[in-house]
Every structure is written in structure tokens, then in C-alpha cells.
């Protein structure tokens, strides 16, 4: 065998995504129901129809995120940590850019994006560390913060020590 064969990437999974899936499904149902109320109160009204369509699309987006949440994973390749949540979120972090990795319990800012029980996605503002690009199954407790100097990423792997070691080893086969 040739020594220049690239070893397979190491894949790490997040802690259980099911609380987040349930939160997103519940939110989708509530949003869709709110949109449908207008159709019951004012059937045939153009504004009610538009509101119902907009809220229905928003509900569908939340259901789409719920479907993607179990696809979340953290992959360490020879040169990168690739953080994904299905087709909707992908962060590619060069291993050489990683300056610090810490475990933290974070404090949520009142102004934030996608975070709720069991899920934190996209850019989330925290009062103690600022903006963090999240792909996690928790919003505040036990977050693994990856600092590249100019950006922070937050993840929640089951095998924290294994992921940290894979990064420090420079990926598989480094």
C-alpha cells in the first residue's frame, strides 16, 4: 500500500438532537396554526390568505430544520474541521487556524438568532463571549468553543475528548 493514501475523515456526532427536533416541530405547528387562524376568522380575505401562506412557509422552514437536526455532525479531515447540519449549515474551519478550544457554559443575549431548547444554529450572540457560530444541540450548557482568533464556533460533540484529540493530532493520519 502507498503511504500517500489519505485516511478517512473522523466523524463525531453531537449529543442527542431530539429535544431540538421536538422544539422545532412544536414551533412549526404553532406558527402554522397562527397563520391558519386568519383563514377561520376571515375566510376568503386576501390578507388572511397571504398571512396564512407566509406563516405556512415559515412553519415549513422550521420543519425542514427539524429534519436536518439529526444529520448534524462534526468531521475532522486532514486539514479541516467541517461542522454541518444537513444541507442548511456548513462551517469549514482550517485546523491551522484554531487557536483555542474550551468548554463553556454561556449566557444568552436577549438579541439572538436560532436558539431554543435543544438547538442552537447559525450566529448566536452571547453576553460573555460575543458572537458564536453555533451548530449545537444545546444553547448554553457544555458548549465546546473553538476560537480561530477572528471567529468563534460552538458545538456539542458526544466525544469531546476524542474530537479535541483529533484536532490536536492534525486530523486523521497526520
- Determine what percent of the chain is predicted with pLDDT higher than 70: 91
pLDDT 10s digits, 16-29 = 999 999 999 999 99
Tell me the H-state helices in 42-75. Answer: 46-68
Using 50, 70 and 90 to split pLDDT, how confident is the model at 45? confident
pTM given for the model: 0.87
The domain ranges of the chain are 18-69, 73-168
Consecutive H or E run containing 166: helix 160-168
CATH topology of domain 73-168: PH-domain like (2.30.29)
Torsion 84-90-93-98 (CA) sign: negative
State yes or no: pLDDT of 2 exceeds 70: no
Contact between 47 and 95 under an 8 Å Cβ cutoff? The reply is no
13 exposed, middle or buried (CB, 10 Å; 0-12, 13-18, 19+)?
Answer: middle
Q: Grid coordinates standing for 3?
A: 503511504
Amino acid at each position: 500500500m502507498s503511504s500517500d493514501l489519505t485516511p478517512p475523515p473522523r466523524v463525531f456526532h453531537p449529543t442527542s438532537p431530539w429535544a431540538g427536533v421536538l422544539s422545532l416541530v412544536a414551533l412549526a405547528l404553532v406558527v402554522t396554526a397562527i397563520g391558519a387562524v386568519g383563514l377561520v376568522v376571515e375566510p376568503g380575505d386576501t390578507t388572511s390568505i397571504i398571512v396564512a401562506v407566509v406563516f405556512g412557509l415559515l412553519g415549513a422552514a422550521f420543519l425542514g430544520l427539524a429534519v436536518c437536526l439529526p444529520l448534524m455532525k462534526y468531521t475532522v479531515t486532514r486539514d479541516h474541521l467541517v461542522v454541518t447540519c444537513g444541507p442548511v449549515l456548513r462551517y469549514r474551519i482550517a485546523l491551522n487556524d484554531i487557536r483555542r478550544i474550551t468548554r463553556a457554559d454561556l449566557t444568552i443575549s436577549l438579541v439572538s438568532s436560532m436558539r431554543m431548547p435543544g438547538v442552537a444554529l447559525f450566529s448566536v450572540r452571547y453576553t460573555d463571549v460575543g458572537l458564536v457560530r453555533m451548530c449545537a444541540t444545546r444553547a448554553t450548557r457544555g458548549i465546546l468553543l473553538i476560537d480561530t482568533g477572528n471567529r468563534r464556533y460552538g458545538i456539542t460533540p458526544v466525544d469531546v475528548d476524542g474530537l479535541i484529540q483529533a484536532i490536536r493530532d492534525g486530523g486523521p493520519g497526520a
